Structure 1
């Protein structure tokens, strides 16, 4: 039983509102807790939060409908399992304006940039419907390759999670509960920055959609494998959460017994509108092929 109540840490009404976080107060609260340090855990449990950032909240630059309720359930899950979660790791989608998936990278024959959610195909590029402003050869190669290997087609996204902007920061209420856990259990919040390569999307936390060089994050894979149980949630279900889980599952495909200890919180993620049908089929495939567990946060006992 914690001395600090959930409501003293998380203000549900402020989820997604860019509330200023007083981490000094959070630390002060957490120091008062008398819980076992994480290093003493017999069962090592990782909570992996995918892109729980301001720009993916409902009013953000790339807002995901349902994100606020997702986050309420996520923060309650962490609070209720604070003494059982060994470590928290979070990915931070981090971009610049000029990247291959942002409007400024492309123009049409009239010099106009594509609207957000425009899908650019290899045929579009070859026919001159969309022209890269720079890095023409690499851009054409990228679009062609992601289609050939069956990745998600190039989608132009609104400018989001631009480095140094408030939109790229952890959502305030999640930040508070994550850092509260860190201090109370004497363990660091592991922060994983992704998405900085201008020539590739990087939905998953392990590797970009396509690269001529091996950019697989083997250190992160090894870190994740140290845990007996992994709980995953975040935004968006259809893209960054799914791709992260898929990449982890494919890398450890020879270790099905361990993969069955990966739990994805169904009520801790939401889909970008328009991708629902593809999303459902993709998740069903992961469950069937790798034994990934899809559960509600209220049903999972650590």
Structure 2
């Protein structure tokens, strides 16, 4: 049983904020207990933390209201289940400014860039309402394919998770807890970088919304299949979490045992405002059709 006090690990007041304490200082000033090693677990449990990054915290570049409280509950969950969680895997959304969902990619007839949260349709491009500044034909084809395949419409987002910036980093208190877990349980923290292709959106952890390239992360799928149970949390519920769950379900749908052992922590994720109702319907469909479990942290 992991008995080290939560408050000596997590600075709750600094969740979503920069911290001056380095990981080196934390480890050197802490008398940590020994715990069971992950390799000795009879039941293998994966915690998949989706995009727990600074730019998705409440005050971040693409802040999700409620994210700070989500992270606090997630950290409490990890602490409480420290020896039941075998491994933690964290996805890291990573971009450059020149990507198809950022403002600089598009302009109207006057040369103005779209405001964040602008939806661009194939009809908009055909009519000249919006024109891509880069890769014109491929940009048109991408938006058309999104609509043909009933994917999320192209939404222009604020510049976020820019490679090398503070915003792309994993949230500081989550980072501390996740690496502490990996050190004490004796494994290497698993990280998955996503979203680097300039001509596609990659909400989910497995594959882009659409791409002409072969970008499916079959290695991540095979990793997930190694576990008896998979717990999922993170930001934002309406985009990166829901799409990650949908993609995982699609790739493991022939394994009913695993499907019914996917658990989504509903109190450790929040939606981007305006997408709540649609997101709730999608999660309920996953529960009804595939047996995905929607639970509170207290119900685990």
TM-score (structure 1 length as normaliser): 0.97
Residues 14-66 of structure 1, C-alpha deviations (whole Å, 9 max, x = no match):
11112234111344477732111111111011000000000000000000000
Task: Name the structure 2 match of 1:120.
Answer: 120
Task: Name the structure 2 match of 1:53.
Answer: 53
Q: Report SS of the residue matched to 2:250.
A: helix
Task: Name the structure 2 match of 1:84.
Answer: 84
Task: Name the structure 1 match of 2:39.
Answer: 39
Give the whole-Å Cα distance in 2 for the aligned partners of 1:30 and 1:160.
34
Task: Name the structure 2 match of 1:256.
Answer: 256
- Give me the CA root mean square deviation: 1.2
After the TM superposition, list the runs of 4 or more consecutive aligned residues in structure 1 that deviate by more than 2 angstroms. Answer: 1-4, 25-32
Q: Report SS of the residue matched to 2:167.
A: helix
| Count of residues in Structure 1 that have an aligned counterpart in Structure 2 | 300
Residues 125-180 of structure 1, C-alpha deviations (whole Å, 9 max, x = no match):
11111000010000000000011101100000000000000000000010111011
Task: Name the structure 2 match of 1:200.
Answer: 200
Task: Name the structure 2 match of 1:24.
Answer: 24
Q: Report SS of the residue matched to 2:297.
A: coil
Q: Report SS of the residue matched to 2:89.
A: strand
Against the structure 1 CA distance between its residues 209 and 185, is the aligned structure 2 distance closer, same or farther, given a 3 Å change threshold? same
Stretch of structure 1 that moved more, 76-85 or 279-288: 279-288
Residue correspondence of structure 1 range 278-297 to structure 2 within 5 A:
278-297=278-297
Give the whole-Å Cα distance in 2 for the aligned partners of 1:196 and 1:248.
20
Residue correspondence of structure 1 range 121-200 to structure 2 within 5 A:
121-200=121-200
Give the whole-Å Cα distance in 1 for the aligned partners of 2:84 and 2:203.
29
8 A contact 1:31–1:184 mirrored in 2: no
Against the structure 1 CA distance between its residues 299 and 190, is the aligned structure 2 distance closer, same or farther, given a 3 Å change threshold? same
Q: Report SS of the residue matched to 1:298.
A: helix
Q: Which runs of 5+ in 2 are unaligned?
A: none
Give the whole-Å Cα distance in 2 for the aligned partners of 1:2 and 1:227.
22
Q: Which runs of 5+ in 1 are unaligned?
A: none
Residues 167-198 of structure 1, C-alpha deviations (whole Å, 9 max, x = no match):
00000010111011011111111111000000
Task: Name the structure 2 match of 1:63.
Answer: 63
Against the structure 1 CA distance between its residues 31 and 141, is the aligned structure 2 distance closer, same or farther, given a 3 Å change threshold? farther
Q: Report SS of the residue matched to 1:92.
A: strand
